[in-house]
Structure 1
Amino acid sequence: MKAYNLLTISLFLATLGLSACEKKVDPFVDRVQSPVLVLIDNATGDGGGMTAEPVVSQKIGGPVTLAVRIYELDKSGILDNKVGIDSIPVASLALKLTTRTGTALGNLTTDASGKATISKTWAELGVAKPAAGSSVSLTWVGEYKGQAFSRYSRVQGTN
């Protein structure tokens, strides 16, 4: 009986020890660094369009003009303080602008300076009666060197 209890306890501890070695699944989404730097032009506030979700303020009485600049970061001189990181404009890059709900707003292509611009009305953005504070969440989507990327931004109406 004593040997049976010892065997049961040993098997229980061995099972407990083996189950404690199980690899936990990471609950977070795998992320890859973006292949390009995406800057939203005319973003309000600090950061110059480099904040998590840049906000562009536009008058509610006129068209909404949105612009983005795309750069490839050359990090080959990162250890040389005279060279540093170089921002190279990405020309002829196809971009798609959508709302966060998935409504397509347009396809754009960057020019030689890496800039792409689009102009829409508030109605085309899904805001029938724009008022101060009206906002639309946007997603800029593209692919560079085989790697997809997306950048969030928002446009907000002002008087």
Structure 2
Amino acid sequence: MNKEDQVMMAFRELYNKIVWLNKDKMEASLKGYKPSEVHCIEYIGKNADSNVTKLAESFYMTRGAISKLTKKLINKGVIESYQKSDNKKEIYFRLTKQGEVIYKIHEDLHQEFQERDKAVFEQITEEQFDSMLSFLDKYSRHLDVEIKKVDLDMNAE
């Protein structure tokens, strides 16, 4: 197995371990909410004036799928839609009080998991962090280019 395969396999394995370790606690604390719903709540909580387009771009989902997701969250009472007085065309989302509770639970869990894993990150040097971040940035930019190609192909059809 070459180094590229080793890196990709290690990323997948690491991700799967994190998901497995966090899953039970997340599901117990956020009962009744799917991961996509929680991530949508998180995005809206962190980003003012969230709308369907911004959410779709962030989650690499269609606007139709985001519309369905936000309707579910509105029905659950965790987000609400609003319009700005200067732009009656665009619909934005914000958290309700109940949504803020879910957002806080999720943030607290992330903090707890970060504390659990702190011992590893404390051993990483600045140079190692810089190297990893540089690789992730390069790979992310490459994937952005590939995503644009797919979008162009889909729009050409």
| TM-score, with length taken from structure 2 | 0.22
- Structure (1 or 2) with the greater helix fraction: 2
| TM-score, with length taken from structure 1 | 0.22
Higher RCO by CA contacts (8 Å cutoff, separation 6 or greater): 1
Asked which structure has the greater CA Rg, the reply is 1
